[in-house]
Structure 1
């Protein structure tokens, strides 16, 4: 039972911070209308902080991870250090996650106000944009990541397309179809069936009363059933998704 402000903060933290000076929006909107990143600013100051904090957190962390995985050569980081020094930021003695987070937070606290919003100095905002440009150019679009992206797409689409086959307008038939496949895919079928029983309108579930949650999916509707698959996939960890995929591919 999360409050509106918390749910708003979660959904509105996605997307880049493209303008310096973030203010909470004034209007109360239906959060289900938000279908893409950056469509609306957060509703609260706390939500604005979450959005900016997310960007601060990943910039340096991704550089360190890329160095660790040999995706990014140290020479490129030295080039980035030179660019940042030329901008005029003497506080960046090195490029690492701790220094990046420290400098951004100090600057953010110093320059933000109710009048100016959650904002950085012009220099620090310029540095943030340079860091983002650097990460996109040398990390996120690196050719070594392409095979993994294809692998991830294969996993997601394989699970989705398999579960999609079991839909039926009669709810009981959905569970009958799933049950028939449980001997082949025990982990997937068991966990997805539990998901549907917990969040769907399956009244015959013996565990229904113990959950005490609202019904999210009307399983008579194919659209809702497909939505249930998508949400089920979205809640998976990488390791769990790979376990399910391996189960599907194993004979």
Structure 2
């Protein structure tokens, strides 16, 4: 037997054995369903396991590279240690893998979904998302939600509109990751079909609040969903303390008595409690006391941090800035006589299928792909006067 045949045989055997050792509630590698039908060269051999391919496609896509210049909740504070989107997805991946290992789930599926869950986030996080959501409603297109836009990025925007062939299970976990929705129990929708996935994806764009209603099809998707909450809630508190919005002593006693005072203790308690109370079950759940404490912390964070007067004032400026840019880009895109503009150059590079999209959605794509600093540079270039040296 040739060495190549031995490697192929060994890889397939390892995959089969790995599936046999997973929890009965885990997603098996043999269950992986690629969303697009592609034909590989018969001579080509890929040593990666099915969901490992998804990890690599996400890691090397342009949307992932843009994480580095997209911030989290505190967009306008100049501090190197304020959470950025790039490190957030790594934290989600690490936390989710810890939970997944404790429950003996498919770690490759978890990692791919965790790393890709925010690919479609607009610049300035949920502030940019809110602006684009309001714009698309005014335009009569529908709604903008970063979870659906993350799926859109990897499938329909990457590689100039060709997209990547990613698995149904990973895409579904990304679509259903909603980290703003807290539940005591996370039960996967295990009967979900590929047709249902597409309906839910479409509904996210055209039916209000769909993102708050849909459930992951896998237990791994549920793990990523709760890991999103665990990863940001303690860090947002620490970031807010670091910039002076709140003090550690402001934290409710109901929180500190159960979860502790800092991000490390919060993460440890939440992961441990979840694994203990979900072990060998077809769903995830917290204990009553930990869930109530977590719910209290989330409410505190919303009121005292995310709705803090300083953030509300500055976020209003960011929303106004994004809306003004959108209006300029939309005008340029729909102006038949204006051929010399960046957005038309962008569209010209995309596939013919992409070019047939509604202009309202194309402009939303164009803006949502931008990083924070690029949006600011564009705004300054378009709306602020340029300082010239004296002409002699």
Q: TM-score range by the shorter chain?
A: 0.7 to 0.9
Cα-to-partner distance string for 1:67-114 (whole Å, 9 max, x where unaligned): 11111123313xx2x22356xx3xx4x411111111101111111145
Cα-to-partner distance string for 1:4-54 (whole Å, 9 max, x where unaligned): 222221121125344321121122211222343222111222111110000
TM, length-normalised to structure 2: 0.50
> Which residue is 2:254 aligned to?
83
> Which residue is 1:177 aligned to?
338
Aligned match for 1:66, one of 212, 232, 240: 240
Post-superposition offset of 1:194: 4.2
SS in 2 for 1:177: coil
> Which residue is 1:193 aligned to?
344
SS in 2 for 1:236: coil
Q: CA separation of 1:102/1:178 partners in 2, compared to 1, >3 Å: closer, same or farther? A: farther
Q: Which runs of 5+ in 2 are unaligned?
A: 1-163, 386-392
- Runs of 4+ in structure 1 over 4 Å off: none
Please tell me whether the aligned partners of residues 21 and 116 of structure 1 are also in contact (alpha carbons under 8 angstroms). no
Post-superposition offset of 1:115: 3.6
Distance 1:128 1:120 in 2: 10
Q: Does 1:108 align with 2:274?
A: yes
Alignment of 1:123-202 (within 5 A): 123-168=289-334, 174=336, 177-179=338-340, 182=341, 189=342, 192-201=343-352
Cα-to-partner distance string for 1:92-148 (whole Å, 9 max, x where unaligned): 4x4111111111011111111454511111111111101111101210110011221
Q: CA separation of 1:43/1:107 partners in 2, compared to 1, >3 Å: closer, same or farther? A: same
> Which residue is 2:203 aligned to?
33
Q: How much is the aligned-residue C-alpha RMSD, in angstroms?
A: 2.0
TM, length-normalised to structure 1: 0.77
Please tell me whether the aligned partners of residues 66 and 72 of structure 1 are also in contact (alpha carbons under 8 angstroms). yes
> Which residue is 1:45 aligned to?
219
Q: Which runs of 5+ in 1 are unaligned?
A: 183-188, 202-214
Q: CA separation of 1:123/1:246 partners in 2, compared to 1, >3 Å: closer, same or farther? A: same
